[in-house]
Amino acid sequence: MNNTITQEDIRSYDTHINAVAKQSSRVDLYENSEFAIFRNMPSKSKGAAFEKIFEEYCTNELGFPVSKPSNTGHDRVINGNIRVEIKGSTIWNGSGGFKFQQIRTEQDYDVVAFLFIYPDRIEVWGADKDVVRENLEVQDSDGNWIYNQHGGKAVNSGTFWFDCSGPEDVPWLEPFDATFL
């Protein structure tokens, strides 16, 4: 009795044939993109990179000074007094959309900046904290928390998420520019 499946053997298995076909049919949207490096980072590294990108965007494109956070309730301070929480997402494989996670509405920030990292650009959108709270701390007719990220839908965990095809699907987002500052 043989207890080994070799590389040559696996090529004749339907499971392997189907997996190869499925993998081959996937299109890598970020192939040859300068932004692929960010999609391929571990989550913690992505968050740190997105914060730095946002910092450089505010300085280079908007002309506002950016400083480190005054506490752990936000990621950066812009123009000396605007506390900003920064969230970013690349397009998720298989879904064709973006997912923004770990949005905590009780943290100490004024504005959330959402970075949509496309294969060919980054779009920066934002919302005031009250707008985020109003749109994510939402219960359905059964009392379930629609965007609750942890602990099921029955209890408000204080941590929320949402997904979308792009910012045009989220009517409460606005282009992030000097109007937030």
pLDDT at residue 24, rounded to an integer? 59
**Cα–chain-centroid distance for residue 175?**
16
- Where in the sequence is the domain holding 61, given as residue range(s)? 26-176
Structure tokens at 26: 């996937």
Answer whether residue 7 is part of any domain. Answer: no
Average pLDDT, integer, range 63-86:
95
> What are 27-41's pLDDT values in tens digits?
678 888 999 999 989
Total domains in the fold of the chain: 1
* CATH number, position 79: 3.40.1350
Query: Does any domain span residue 16?
Result: no
Nearest one of 118, 107, 154, 112 to 135, comparing CA atoms: 112
10 Å CB burial of residue 21 (0-12, 13-18, 19+) is exposed
| In a domain? residue 8 | no
Strands of 105-158 (E only): list them. 111-117, 122-128
More confident of the two residues 111 and 149? 111
Structure token digits, residue 86: 């920064």
pLDDT digits (tens, 9 = 90+) for 95-104: 679 999 999 9
Instruction: Characterize 57-90 residue by residue with b for buried, 16 or more Cβ atoms within 10 angstroms of its Cβ, and e for exposed.
Output: bbeeebebebeebeeeebbbbbeeebbbbbbbbb
* Residue 1 counted as domain residue: no
Residue 119 lies in a domain: yes
- Which pTM value belongs to this model? 0.84
Q: What is the pLDDT of residues 158-174, one digit of tens each?
A: 889 999 999 999 999 99
Q: What pLDDT does residue 107 have?
A: 95
For residues 88-100, average pLDDT: 86
Nearest to 172 by CA among 139, 140, 141, 128: 128
Residue 165 pLDDT: 94
- Which one is predicted more confidently, 24 or 55? 55
In a domain, 17, yes or no: no
